[in-house]
A = this chain, B = another copy of it.
Amino acid sequence: MQPDEFRRIGHEVIDWIADYRERLGDLPVRSRVEPGWVRSRLAPLPEQGEGFAELLADLDRVVVPGTTHWQHPGFYAYFPSNASLPSVLGDLLSSGLGVQGMLWSTSPAATEVEQHLMDELVGAMGLPDRFRGGGVIQDTASSAALVAMLAALHRSSDKWRETGVSGDETVYVSSQTHSSIERAARLAGLGEEAVRAVEVGPTLAMDVDALARQVESDVDAGRKPVLVCATIGTTGTGAVDPVREIAEVCARHGIWLHVDAAWAGPAALLPEQRALFAGVEHADSFCANAHKWMLTGFDLSLFWTAHPDVLVDALTILPEYLRNSATESGAVVDYRDWQIPLGRRFRALKLWSVLRWYGLEGVRAHLRGHIELAELLESWVAADEDWELVAPRTLALVTLAHRSGDEATRRAMEAVNAEGSAFLTHTVANGRFAIRVAIGAEQTREHHVRAMWEALRAVNGRPSS
């Protein structure tokens, strides 16, 4: 494809996306296809090339009906994954440049724009100064948790790089911690038995006394605690672990404290929400996903550590073909040593596009709008005779259940999901089946939330008000 063809077809693709975003709200949120429906409609790979119009036609014919629309205003499932249009254009520029940022020398701008943004966000998010110079973009919070664990293992033993894990290491989560931490322990060779699921209190936040007891009992038994993961905004209900108190336990025992704020983290941009982040100044590492709730398309997970030297030392390996004078000068950062993969895209461009187009005030307005919608929903649920909150609202996540039991809750969720204008997912909180309403799509407005709520209410017999 020559640049002139690209110009013409590229404009068509841009228009296709604009059209898609304009009509998005009229599509059912969840794809309704059966397993195999998409595949049965796909042609074998052509021997001879074809036009781009054929691909776009297949998008309309097969892909759009086979897609669950994460940008839909009625998407309340999982956590949001908002891909704003400036972010789309920033990523397009990254694809167009087609550079590899694995080393500083393989594309200095890719590294230095990223360093700049990560340091600027330390200030904008009220993060501790010890994170300056320790920021890097990871693909996901799962990978961030894994690199944090590897750094913690390396710090805990000067033999880890050479002889591997000892079999004595232990890792601490709560029953509400994201599964990626347990999975990271498995991948790092510790096994799931090394993971202690600490009890939670009634708000589903980690019980610090239980943590302290478990750590002491493990130490007494000759085990070696290496990492605690505290969560600000758990996946199930948005619970917030007491980071400051957890940090004290970690400090006493030399344990790496990783704070997972994958979803809630962007709210640190709001001065009025900073109390949620108390204690983060003591964390060894911290993660917040710009691709969840900071208008930036997947994949862009913000990760900071106060110990980049430990992280780099844990992950680095320098074969001959990657040697270069800039690296050897020590004056540059080579981000390949901060992550699992070797190669890396110029991901910072999409974050830069978002932060410049909206400005910090624009991003804050986006977050505040969603929080206000969640407060509204919370007030409606609290005032309802049939429904109740099963956990305190956190930011823009509301967790609710029907008072008459799990069956009614599930029936309401499934009916709304089947109707198509909203998509909800569930959790089990304090033993109850509960609907999670995670507000965060860019186009979601009050009338969408109200319609979803009225639809839920209408399922178990009460007429819509």
Contacts and interface: CB of A to CB of B under 8 A. Distances in A.
A165 interface: yes
A408 interface: no
Interface residues on A, range: 35 or more
A312 interface: no
A385 interface: no
A411 to B, nearest CB: 14
A46 B178 CA distance: 33
Contact of A7 (B14, B320, B344, B360): B14
B9 A108 contact: no
A55 B352 contact: yes
A18 interface: yes
Contacts of A275: none
A315 B19 CA distance: 38
A18 to B, nearest CB: 4
Nearest to A2: B85
A92 B93 contact: no
A219 interface: no
Nearest to A111: B38
Given A70-B100, A95-B87, A49 B109 contact: no
A400 interface: no
Interface string A58-102: 010011101111110000001001111111111111011111100
A7 B189 CA distance: 49
A36 to B, nearest CB: 7
Contacts of A159: 191
A120 B235 contact: no
Is chain A's binding surface mostly helix, strand, loop or mixed? helix
A54 interface: yes
Interface in A345-372: 345, 352-353, 355-362
A260 interface: no
A344 B298 CA distance: 8
Find the residue from A78, A99, A110, A235 having the highest chain B CB count within 10 A: A99
Contacts of A224: none
A360 B10 CA distance: 22
Contact of A108 (B31, B88, B106, B340): B31
A85 B6 contact: yes
Nearest to A360: B47
A357 B109 contact: no
Interface string A20-61: 111000000011010111110010111111111011000100
A167 interface: yes
Contact of A4 (B18, B49, B92): B18
Interface string A414-430: 00000000000111100
A203 interface: no
A231 interface: no
Contacts of A87: 95
A398 to B, nearest CB: 15
A116 interface: yes
A201 interface: no
A359 B48 contact: yes
Interface in A281-331: 291, 297-299, 315, 317-322, 326, 329, 331
6 contacts: A1-B85, A6-B17, A35-B326, A140-B342, A320-B426, A321-B436
Which A-B residue pairs are the 3 nearest by beta carbons? A189-B189, A83-B98, A164-B191
